[in-house]
Amino acid sequence: MASNWVRQGGSGKNLLTGAASPLAIAYSPTAGRFLVTTGSVVDNGAGSTTVTVSDNIDTSGANWVVQQSPASGSGARKSWIAYKRNCESGITTVNCKFSNGSTQFFAIGEVSEYTGATTLGTIVDFTDLQTGTNTAVICSGTPSQDNCLLIMSTSADDSSASGAWASNAPWTTLAEEADTGTQTAHKSAYLVQGTAALESETMSYDVGNVPHLAAMMAFRDSSNDTPIGTSASVNNNDASMASVFIMPGAGFIPLLRKSGTALQRIIEQAMGLKSNINSTKTWW
Amino acid sequence: MLIPIPRANRAPLSLSLPETAVPAGVSLATIAITRFAWPNPGEIVGTLTTEFSFDNGATWPWVDMFQVGGGVITRNGLEVTESSKSFTIPPQSGSSPRQVRGSVVTTAPLDFGGRIEIV
């Protein structure tokens, strides 16, 4: 079965040079999509930085989940991956915020949107956060399910010299900045995997003796969102049949909507609710 | 190709950069702005937005934004005298020419020069 993940669009690269937080990325996704932002940040030496993400609808960022690499080197360099399931209508700006109060952040980020996310249970299959050597960083993991979306976000310190990122085919680049010595070098990319297998990806920036760091995450698609069995069938008052399917991680979902005492009782019992067969309440 | 940007003290401006064909074979562009005593530390004083089309201007799916802060900025204790950004431009797909367009907005008077490099 093929993966259901499809990248539907993205903001392209946004770069903030020597200014206060946030990195505001203008992008208007379609409601309901799976949103991801990746990026890297370094400041001018103010200290440890925590990355948080919000948008103009979800202003507190309550529906965003952020993973960030370990900090490395001067300026607390970090890369992040943040995601939001089932995004709200009306989003026009995603704000990537950095906590330490510096007024001189150097940050690169992008937003992209996808269809095909699992609608059941947890969406994150694995997360790998790494610091690397002075020439490269490697993230790796084996998804527990087929058809995962893998995203990697990487940074390298290019404050001493400029360089270039090596190719990461067959990964597709989301944003890449190989810069000139005054900002942070960043690369992020994605890969839709078929059969689950070990993915070990090297991000290499060809300037010697510079710290690298990275984050990789794997996200589950909806191809595994299939019923695993029928738990009950009911002959109701008018002889209609109703079935209740068990979905992995989601309890049960009645497929035939109707009112009636027998079906209502089974549903209530399954949910642990008190049954009242004399009720005139219509449930569906 | 190297295109110099002469140094000048420029008033706040808002410019639209018209659609222009990207020459065949071009894969990377870099813009570097030399900073001379800019005002408004911590604030964004300049924004360059570029869009790329791979179907001769029918759609513009590739957007880049470059924002620069004011004041004297430092990295590792040293003054940063140049703000720069590179554009990795995807190759032409089929026979449709690539196009670029964009805008420049500055919100404070800025003394700057610089260069654009295309390879």
Full DSSP string of A88-129: PTT--EEEEEETT--S-EEEEEEEEEEE-B--SS--EEEEEE
The mean pLDDT of B100-107, rounded to a whole number, is 94
On whether the CB atoms of residues A69 and A133 are closer than 8 A, the answer is no
What are the backbone dihedrals phi and psi of residue A264, each rounded to the nearest 5 degrees, phi first?
A: -60, -40
Q: What angle do CA B47, A54, B102 make, to 5 degrees?
A: 20
Give the ipTM of the model, two decimals please. Answer: 0.80
pLDDT over 70 (residue B99): yes
What is the model's pLDDT at position B1?
83
Cβ of A183 within 8 Å of Cβ of B77? The answer is: no
Give pLDDT tens digits for B23-79.
Answer: 888 988 888 999 999 999 999 999 999 998 999 999 988 888 999 999 998 877 788
On whether the CB atoms of residues B7 and B36 are closer than 8 A, the answer is yes
Give pLDDT tens digits for A118-166.
Answer: 998 899 999 999 988 777 889 999 999 999 999 999 998 776 667 788 8
Model pTM score? 0.80
On whether the CB atoms of residues B26 and B100 are closer than 8 A, the answer is no
Contacts of A11 in chain B (CB under 8 A): 63, 65
Q: What share of chain A is helix, strand, coil (3-state, %, to 5)?
A: 5, 45, 50
Which one of A14, A104, A177 makes the best mutation probe of the B interface by having the most chain B beta carbons within 10 Å?
A104
Spans in chain A with pLDDT lower than 70? 74-75, 159-161, 179-183, 207-209, 226-284
What is the model's pLDDT at position A228?
52
Tell me the shortest Cα–Cα distance from B40 to chain A, in angstroms. Answer: 10
Domain that holds residue B50: 2-118
Tell me the shortest Cα–Cα distance from B27 to chain A, in angstroms. Answer: 13
Give the count of domains, chain B: 1
Which one of A92, A177, A182, A184 makes the best mutation probe of the B interface by having the most chain B beta carbons within 10 Å?
A182
- Chain B's closest residue to A26, CA to CA, is B65
Cβ of B63 within 8 Å of Cβ of A179? The answer is: no
What is the model's pLDDT at position A180?
53
What is the model's pLDDT at position A207?
67
CATH number at residue B7: 2.60.120
CB atoms closer than 10 angstroms to residue A137: 27
What is the model's pLDDT at position A227?
58
Higher-confidence residue of B78 and B14: namely B14
Radius of gyration of chain B (CA): 16
Tell me the shortest Cα–Cα distance from A69 to chain B, in angstroms. Answer: 21
Higher-confidence residue of A47 and B7: namely B7
What is the model's pLDDT at position A181?
52
Strand partners, A175: A188
What is the model's pLDDT at position A134?
76
Cβ of B67 within 8 Å of Cβ of A17? The answer is: yes
* Nearest residue, CB atoms, A180 vs list B70, B73, B84: B84
What is the model's pLDDT at position A283?
32
pLDDT over 70 (residue B108): yes
User: Cα–Cα distance between A36 and A80 in angstroms, integer?
Assistant: 10
Cβ of A17 within 8 Å of Cβ of B83? The answer is: yes
What is the model's pLDDT at position A272?
41
Cβ of B65 within 8 Å of Cβ of A25? The answer is: yes
Which one of B27, B50, B83, B86 makes the best mutation probe of the A interface by having the most chain A beta carbons within 10 Å?
B86
